[in-house]
């Protein structure tokens, strides 16, 4: 019975793969140097001291490039880093926008919800503030008007007003 040979999908040279290869090369201390007399570029091995591979940035004598046809080996990355083509820390992507705060009572968004309108702070907790009635009395004495009867509103008000009886743990 004839054995079937597996065909591997050719790897693509993506910017993410180049960055990972460069990070591995820098972490391993791989260096690319150009020979003074020949002009050829040699890149040190990450795993074998005293071994170097010849590369021109497109082809490389390492096993990863020769046997698997990998277009992005850490030796290529070290070469392109030495040439100034790859940068160590590329500009990070801007953070994704935050999800809007949603009131679980009315399901409105922060801008539209009368429950949160003008509150300036929000809290999410799963518990019971046993002394929230005492905190509310103290805050009412200081002139605060509550919009609800929840213990959560007592917590946010205490944190904003620095209520001496509030203990946030």
The span from the CA of 121 to the CA of 144, in Å, is: 15
pLDDT at 135 over 60: yes
pLDDT of residue 62: 86
pLDDT of residue 59: 84
The separation between the first and the last C-alpha atoms of the chain, rounded to the nearest angstrom, is 70
pLDDT at 20 over 60: yes
Taking all residues of the chain, what is their mean pLDDT, rounded to a whole number? 74
CB 28 within 8 A of CB 75: no
Mean pLDDT of 102-118: 57
Residues contacting residue 155 through CB under 8 Å, at least 6 positions apart: 123, 125, 129, 132, 166, 168
pLDDT at 116 over 80: no
| 9 part of a folded domain | no
Do 169 and 102 reside in the same domain of the chain?
Answer: yes
pLDDT of residue 12: 78
Please give the structure tokens belonging to residue 110.
């922060």
Q: Which of 82, 108, 127 is the last residue of a domain?
A: 82
| 123 part of a folded domain | yes
Do 68 and 128 reside in the same domain of the chain?
Answer: no
Q: Which domain holds residue 129?
A: 98-169
Do 103 and 71 reside in the same domain of the chain?
Answer: no
Q: Which of 54, 82, 110 is the last residue of a domain?
A: 82
Please give the structure tokens belonging to residue 79.
């070469």
pLDDT of residue 46: 85
pLDDT of residue 120: 53
Helix (H) or strand (E) holding 33: strand 32-34
pLDDT at 35 over 50: yes
SS3 content of the chain, % helix, strand, coil (to 5): 30, 10, 60
Q: What is the DSSP letter of 53?
A: E
Domains: count for the chain: 2
Do 50 and 102 reside in the same domain of the chain?
Answer: no
Do 26 and 63 reside in the same domain of the chain?
Answer: yes
Mean pLDDT of 95-116: 58
Q: Which residue has the higher pLDDT, 166 or 34?
A: 34
Mean pLDDT of 141-158: 79
The span from the CA of 103 to the CA of 105, in Å, is: 5
Do 137 and 106 reside in the same domain of the chain?
Answer: yes
What are the contacts of 40-45 at 24+ separation with CB within 8 A?
41/79, 41/82, 43/75, 43/78, 43/79
pLDDT-derived band at 90, boundaries 50, 70, 90: low
Do 75 and 110 reside in the same domain of the chain?
Answer: no
Do 104 and 162 reside in the same domain of the chain?
Answer: yes
| 90 part of a folded domain | no
| 152 part of a folded domain | yes
| 166 part of a folded domain | yes
| 10 part of a folded domain | no
| 29 part of a folded domain | yes
């Amino acid at each position: 019975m004839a054995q079937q040979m597996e065909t591997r999908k050719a790897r693509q040279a993506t910017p993410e793969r180049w960055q990972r290869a460069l990070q591995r090369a820098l972490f391993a201390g791989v260096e690319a140097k150009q020979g003074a007399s020949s002009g050829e570029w040699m890149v040190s091995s990450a795993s074998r001291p005293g071994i170097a591979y010849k590369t021109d940035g497109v082809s490389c004598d390492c096993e990863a490039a020769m046997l698997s046809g990998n277009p992005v080996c850490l030796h290529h990355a070290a070469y392109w880093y030495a040439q100034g083509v790859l940068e160590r820390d590329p500009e990070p992507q801007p953070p994704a926008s935050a999800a809007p705060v949603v009131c679980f009572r009315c399901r409105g968004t922060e801008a539209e919800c009368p429950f949160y309108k003008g509150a300036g702070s929000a809290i999410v907790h799963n518990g019971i503030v046993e002394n929230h009635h005492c905190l509310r009395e103290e805050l009412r004495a200081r002139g605060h008007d509550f919009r609800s009867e929840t213990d959560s509103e007592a917590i946010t008000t205490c944190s904003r007003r620095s209520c001496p009886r509030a203990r946030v743990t």
